[in-house]
Amino acid sequence: MLAPRMRKVALVAVVIGIVVGGVVAIFAAPLIAVVVAAVIALPTAVSALLATRRRMWLAGTTIHASNGLVERRIDVAQAASVEFVVRAARVSQVVLRIGDGRRVRTVPLALYTADGGRELDVLGLRKLADALSASELAPAAAAASLLIDQLRAEARGAGLEERPLYRAVALARDAGRVPQTVLTDAEVAALSN
């Protein structure tokens, strides 16, 4: 979903760099124009292209995250903290933040707009719920329960208002906790019912 947009951002950055470099070339030496164009275009273009290389997958209970250069891992079964983070804005997002005491990983679960949204696929939700169930942490069990309720809502073809992840966004908006908030354990438990 993001890869085509990131490629466009990279292309626009390169075009802007070339245009600015061309203007600078009129008034300065060609070498200075090339340096200016590179300084303007390269950071944005490289970061946008690296964003298209980001991958996240779950193997057993270990979440692997790679940005194309470095791969990081976190074992969900050994989690020290599990919390839902909701960002309520024009494009609302629900992520699961998992920490093991040394590092933290965020797993994007859903993106919602005014007229719909996209959620993590069913298989991904199920594998994540299973990995969270392997943890002895109470918030991990609550998170697994919420994800299973999300799966049940998807299986019966429930509308957005009946899906726990969408209700998390509505809860944050109604409470006025925008643009970003962490759901409490009581709120996660309430969403599971």
pLDDT tens string 14-45: 999 999 999 999 999 999 999 999 999 999 99
Contact (CB, 8 A) for 57 and 66: no
Phi-psi region of 54 (alpha: psi -120 to 50; beta: other; left: phi over 0): beta
pLDDT tens string 91-134: 899 999 999 888 999 999 999 988 888 898 999 999 999 999 99
pLDDT beyond 80 at 1: no
Q: What is the pTM of this model?
A: 0.76
Neighbouring CB atoms inside 10 A of 148's CB total 18
Contact (CB, 8 A) for 87 and 180: yes
**Alpha-carbon gap, residue 22 to 152, rounded angstroms:** 58
Neighbouring CB atoms inside 10 A of 2's CB total 11
pLDDT beyond 80 at 2: no
AA identity, residue 169:
V
